[in-house]
Structure 1
Amino acid sequence: NLSTIDNTLDLIKTSRQDSASIDISSIPMDDSLTFDLFCRADTIGVFQLESSGMKRLVSNMQPSVFGDIVAILALYRPGPLGSGMVKDYVECKHGRKRVIYPHPLMTDILRETYGVLVYQEQIIQGVQVLAGFSLGQADLLRRAIGKKTPEVLAEQRLQFVEGCLKNPEFVEKCPKSSTPEEKANEIFDTINYFSGYGFNKSHSVAYGLISYQTAFLKAHYPVQLMAALFNGSINNQDNVISYISECKAMGVNVLPPDVNHSAKTFTVAPTGFRISVRTISHFEHDFCGTSPEKETVPEEWIEPLRNSMKILKNRDFKEEAEFLEIFAQNTESLSGELNTLNSKVNIAIFDLKSPFSAWLRREARIEVIRFGLNAVKNVGSKAVDAILKVRNEHGQLTDFMEFMKKVDLKEVNKRMIETLVKCGAFDSLHENRSQLFAAIDSAFHLSQEFHRAEEPLQDSMFELMDAGDAEATITQLEFPEVRNWPKRERLNQEKMALGFYVSGHPLDSYVSEIKILATTTSKMKEGLLAEKDKVSLVGIVVNNTVRLNQSNEKFAIVTLEDTQGTIEFPVFASVYEKVGELLESDDPLLISGRVNYRDEEVGMFVDNVHRLSELRETEAKSMLIKIGAESLNHESVSLLRKTLQKYSGDKPFTFSVQTPEAVSVIITPEERINITSTLIEELEEILPHQTLEFGYPSLKNFR
């Protein structure tokens, strides 16, 4: 909507100060990146085009002009979808079906919609051209058809047929397969049928313009648009979950709130550059072509750039510094002095007028979205203002007690501090959330002592001495010797504080199982599954309402959340009796059943429920640990060895270590392990950036 567009433009101004300002009313209406986005149906966040059904229509339509977007918005309604109009439109657009006009005189009117009556304006224009109706008469006909009064319709039909027969051009151009009177009645029947579905084109154009503008922003400024969408949806849990998932798919990090970096609302911050697969392909095209333009890049760089591609091409991504190092190493032969070449590269990168710099900023910029402090539960606007006031007056903080000393504790109470710790808002001051949480009482006591000591003093020497002691006291906060919360607890605390998982998701550890066993809530909501089709979901129960049926037996209404959204369904008494205890837990579950539609909402009838961790322990036959070489050092390898030995068992495991040269080294130890939840938790703590995959020879019984 308009507020999302305005917020996106504001975020572009603040986060991309090197970019020209955008006049959204003057963007090109034939932008290739925007239509590429439409054709991919990459429309999460695009006005009016986010639903699964709308995405299917956009994908089928493959829009190529703005008029297609206008038509999509007019066609995506129950009437046109059920009448076959939409299918006709798509088939004719792509030349798979011949365009047939009701009458040659309507060719110009219906050309843009491939012979299909889509808009009310087309009906009004049609009866004017065919039957010579005035604009007023045409509007009367439109309203009469809308009311469906038989007597009025009969009168309008008579006038329309008479008007057509009095029109010599209509009679002359009538196909020989029918008489003019038959054709006039046939056209009236068509108008009568389709006018019930006709949409006001001016409305569709207005909506379509907003759809196009948001799509343009997503194509060119995706991070800014997503941040604006968060700002407009913070009270809509399903939307926020969907947008977090979309950001993950886009490779955009969404960071938790931070007292040092967050504003009130969601913001965008640049963090550097990343050379991705997409960037590499563009890099090769733009700088390694056979006929380089001299103003684009010095000609002597071309061959070294081509050599760089051999190393870069198969990499998942490279950070800017690593990219420049490879670039410099490959251009060393030009002068024989690496330092000189590094200087050349740095000049090219950081000179804002350099074409190479402009290219890199356009193609390889990394931006992150930072949660706003207003999104934190139980922290009101006055508390947020107090936190921002501290930062504005004193700059970035380096110590938790410095924050406690300077913030107004009348506005920021203990409960608020606890919530901010839970969501990670103090991570930049103290990484161990568990320690910080345990020290909150002491911190409040010390800060209150300090503020009391700062109150207007008497002239007593002892009081002056006490004031000096207060300054010293502020540094005396001692943190208890406790380990940080395990990953799962950190995520749960984030969810409690924000309403969403941000820094990760409990299901991230179950990629193998989801890939093999489950669909997603978003896929189910697309409506492609038929009633009673078998289906399995992997997720976490976020709401479980237990009720009694007429036989006084317990059943439940369950809301399940996965990484894509939420879905609600009943668990009837016969199943609840067996799985009710599992539904009370916050463990990741595999829920199997059959698709059920009720009032056009998709759900499922549950047949069985399994705890994923138990399924993994009993059914997984092997484990693969994927890790980057940069994560391994003497300490982590030693700890890893001890941990794996502690869980000795009979299942094989393998390491896949990716080297800086993008080579995967496979290591298969002779030892065997016992795959348990505690082992997985310990591995996640030792190697937080690893990926675990599990081998399942057969899981048919669990689908």
Structure 2
Amino acid sequence: MFRLSTVLADVPRNIRAHSSGVIVSRRPLADTVPVQWSAGDQEDGNLRIIQWDKRSAKHYFDKFDILCLRGQDVLSGTQERVRLQHLDFRVENLPLDDPHTYQAMRSGELVGIPQSASPAMRQAHMRLQTMNLTDASLVQAGIRPGVGGAVKINELIGRRRGTKSYQLSHPDFERILGNTYGILVFQEQVDQLLQVFCGCTSGEAEEIREEIHKRRREDYGQVLRPQLIQRAVDRGYTEAVAAEAVDMAAGFRGYGFAQGHALAFAEISVRSIACQQNFPGPYFAALLQAQPAGYYGPCTIANEARTRGIRILPLDVSRSTEDYAVEDIVAEDDPKLGVPSGGIRLALTALKGLSAPARAAIVAGQPYLSVADFVRRVALNRDELETLIQCGGLDALHPHRRALLCAVPDWLAWRGAVSGGLELDVPPPTLPEMTDFSPEEKAIRERALLGLDVHQHLMAFERERVSGRGGLTTWEARRQPNGKKVMVVGNPIRLRFPPTPSGKRVVFFDLEDETGLLNVTCFDAVYRRDGHAIVCSPYVTIIGVTQVREDHTAFLAQRVFAYQPEIVKAVDLEQTLPITTADFLVG
């Protein structure tokens, strides 16, 4: 069985379209290679594909990988919204050398920035002290390939900051590796080493690099080492220099980016930061519209928007559409100043359980004068009407959610009577007298149905209690000096368990509260003792110490306890809180 499995390894078992590969040919493709329709259902029908795989195709055709990224949707969505006020605005005209953009990267305030939002990315930008687009591309190439990547990011950061010395032994190394501090970062640098030192052609160098990566488990670079060194010596290099060049190339065995690839990712981040800084309302509206798009979900994105002064406006059957829209608002505090584009109106698509026909009917009938007007003109089923009421979608027509919810059967019966074809003067139902849902109950139902918090993060309901016991917000914890022991309470999200050389477990996660995120590290002993709380509890209390490393503050957990939220005492819950638990980051 194992022998047959070895033979079958890498044999194609199905044929589907490459996610973003495009080939260019001078002659009709069918004259060179069989062409067929792809499998699967695309929106515009199936796609024409060739029967060669990507490795075979590149030897004959010019092949391009087109980056199909949600970040592009965010930028185009931002442009569309900004142009409602500024007709000549174009994302591609934003400068790539604005110092304020790179200041944001160095600060690590990058939640909601495509290609740069993850904790690893934010830390790398802070530690590297990103100053320009080239620096940003180094971070992309060093972090995005993941734990299997070929770039030694810590060594790169140390050399960049001057804490680790290095010296290049030959001028040709300076020409190839000077901009990356003597470290191989990009794929083409491996090719350049093989071409300059060993005399390989560009095609030969590319094949050698790919074989070194593909056959890394058998250490294929060492198999080629003697002949490559000899080729370099024959070209006049000393054996020591030749060995250094070959060992560098052979050591680049993990996955790495081409520089153009890294620059393209970095450019999306740079333009996104510029949009976020200058047009926060349109930017966060586009980001919510593009979900799922990036490392964090809608709840975290909405929370980040609030911390930046953007108000999340509730769902409203008379104003919400299929898209997240930007609205002018009036400041809640005195003086009551108008804030252009200061609010984001939730889209109907945010509501779970509301069908596409129902959304279309709601938009077509806008605006509505009363609950009776809405119920009569939009034929929603009972479940859809109840979810709209519970999330606050009818608050502008009648603010008493519990009374409306209890009267839903009467409203549906009334609609049947007035729309039965007879011109009957049937009065709308009378709402029962009762106490409305509490603010806590409303907030919990909004989180459950919308996947985000409208007016404030659920953790805000716990703040008075936590602060009274000496707990800090995540914002305050991030600004503590090195070695400070503090207590923080929040929701653990984005749990990550990277492999370690020792085999001991270490878990990284973000602790979220109403002020933002705190990056937490939990080592093996703490995880073995307190891991159940991290994985299974919606809220946890963490006691730990701050660790400031190269301008980045991490939080080392010493104890983790399940936190029993006060909010559950204020509501009559039939199920657990709609707060993320066991939020493992897979892949």
TM-score of the aligned structures, taking structure 1 as reference length: 0.57
Question: In the superposition, relative to structure 1, how do residues 426 and 540 fare at CA in structure 2: closer, same or farther (>3 Å)?
Answer: farther
- Are the counterparts in 2 of residues 13 and 21 from structure 1 also a CA contact under 8 Å? no
Question: In the superposition, relative to structure 1, how do residues 4 and 114 fare at CA in structure 2: closer, same or farther (>3 Å)?
Answer: closer
Between structures 1 and 2, the one with greater helix share:
1
Question: In the superposition, relative to structure 1, how do residues 269 and 163 fare at CA in structure 2: closer, same or farther (>3 Å)?
Answer: same
- Are the counterparts in 2 of residues 132 and 167 from structure 1 also a CA contact under 8 Å? yes
Cα-to-partner distance string for 1:85-114 (whole Å, 9 max, x where unaligned): 323322333444445224211212222212
263, 273, 290: which is aligned to 1:205? 263
Q: Which residue of 2 aligns with 1:133?
A: 200
332, 347, 359: which is aligned to 1:384? 359
Q: Which residue of 2 aligns with 1:432?
A: 400
Q: What is the 5 A alignment of 1:28-107?
A: 28-76=95-143, 85-98=152-165, 100-107=167-174
Greater Cα offset, 43-52 or 22-31: 22-31
- Are the counterparts in 1 of residues 395 and 401 from structure 2 also a CA contact under 8 Å? yes
User: Secondary structure of 1:517's partner?
Assistant: coil
Per-residue deviation at 1:5?
3.2
Cα-to-partner distance string for 1:602-645 (whole Å, 9 max, x where unaligned): 99998754545499xxxxxxxxxxxxxxxxxxxxxxxxxxxxxx
Greater Cα offset, 18-27 or 368-377: 18-27
- Are the counterparts in 2 of residues 161 and 185 from structure 1 also a CA contact under 8 Å? yes
Runs of 5+ unmatched residues, structure 2: 1-67, 494-509, 546-554, 572-587
Per-residue deviation at 1:57?
0.5
User: Secondary structure of 1:261's partner?
Assistant: coil
Coordinate RMSD, CA, aligned? 4.5
User: Secondary structure of 2:102's partner?
Assistant: helix
Cα-to-partner distance string for 1:459-516 (whole Å, 9 max, x where unaligned): xxxxxxxx3x51xx34x54232323211111112223332433233432132244453
Q: Which residue of 2 aligns with 1:245?
A: 303
Task: Count residues with an aligned counterpart.
Answer: 463
- Are the counterparts in 2 of residues 255 and 371 from structure 1 also a CA contact under 8 Å? yes
Cα-to-partner distance string for 1:62-98 (whole Å, 9 max, x where unaligned): 2222111211111116788998832332233344444
- Are the counterparts in 1 of residues 79 and 91 from structure 2 also a CA contact under 8 Å? no
User: Secondary structure of 1:100's partner?
Assistant: coil
C-alpha separation in 2, matches of 1:2 and 1:122:
26
Q: What is the 5 A alignment of 1:324-335?
A: none
Question: In the superposition, relative to structure 1, how do residues 12 and 166 fare at CA in structure 2: closer, same or farther (>3 Å)?
Answer: closer
Q: Which residue of 1 aligns with 2:434?
A: 482
276, 279, 300: which is aligned to 1:221? 279
Per-residue deviation at 1:424?
0.5
Q: Which residue of 1 aligns with 2:575?
A: none
Per-residue deviation at 1:435?
2.6
> Do residues 371 (structure 1) and 439 (structure 2) align?
no
Letter in 1 for 2:300: S
Cα-to-partner distance string for 1:219-243 (whole Å, 9 max, x where unaligned): 3322222222222326999611211
Runs of 5+ unmatched residues, structure 1: 171-179, 275-315, 322-363, 458-466, 542-558, 596-601, 616-676, 681-703
User: Secondary structure of 2:365's partner?
Assistant: helix
Q: Which residue of 2 aligns with 1:164?
A: 232
C-alpha separation in 1, matches of 2:79 and 2:110:
20
User: Secondary structure of 1:504's partner?
Assistant: coil
Per-residue deviation at 1:56?
0.4
Question: In the superposition, relative to structure 1, how do residues 425 and 11 fare at CA in structure 2: closer, same or farther (>3 Å)?
Answer: farther
Letter in 2 for 1:437: L
Q: What is the 5 A alignment of 1:463-482?
A: 467=423, 470=425, 473-474=426-427, 476-482=428-434
> Do residues 259 (structure 1) and 287 (structure 2) align?
no
443, 457, 460: which is aligned to 2:411? 443
- Are the counterparts in 1 of residues 389 and 405 from structure 2 also a CA contact under 8 Å? yes
Letter in 1 for 2:394: F
- Are the counterparts in 1 of residues 390 and 446 from structure 2 also a CA contact under 8 Å? yes
Letter in 1 for 2:342: E
- Are the counterparts in 2 of residues 30 and 66 from structure 1 also a CA contact under 8 Å? yes
User: Secondary structure of 2:103's partner?
Assistant: helix
Letter in 2 for 1:450: V
- Are the counterparts in 1 of residues 150 and 185 from structure 2 also a CA contact under 8 Å? no
C-alpha separation in 2, matches of 1:153 and 1:84:
17
C-alpha separation in 1, matches of 2:271 and 2:450:
30
C-alpha separation in 2, matches of 1:500 and 1:385:
22
Letter in 2 for 1:517: G
Cα-to-partner distance string for 1:146-183 (whole Å, 9 max, x where unaligned): 32587964664334333333445x4xxxxxxxxx2223
Q: What is the 5 A alignment of 1:297-312?
A: none
457, 471, 474: which is aligned to 1:517? 471
183, 199, 204: which is aligned to 2:241? 183
Per-residue deviation at 1:4?
4.6
> Do residues 420 (structure 1) and 388 (structure 2) align?
yes
Question: In the superposition, relative to structure 1, how do residues 237 and 376 fare at CA in structure 2: closer, same or farther (>3 Å)?
Answer: farther
Cα-to-partner distance string for 1:176-210 (whole Å, 9 max, x where unaligned): xxxx2223223322332235464332332333333
Question: In the superposition, relative to structure 1, how do residues 110 and 514 fare at CA in structure 2: closer, same or farther (>3 Å)?
Answer: farther
Q: Which residue of 2 aligns with 1:496?
A: 448
Pair member with larger Rg: 1
- Are the counterparts in 2 of residues 594 and 604 from structure 1 also a CA contact under 8 Å? yes
C-alpha separation in 2, matches of 1:235 and 1:378:
21
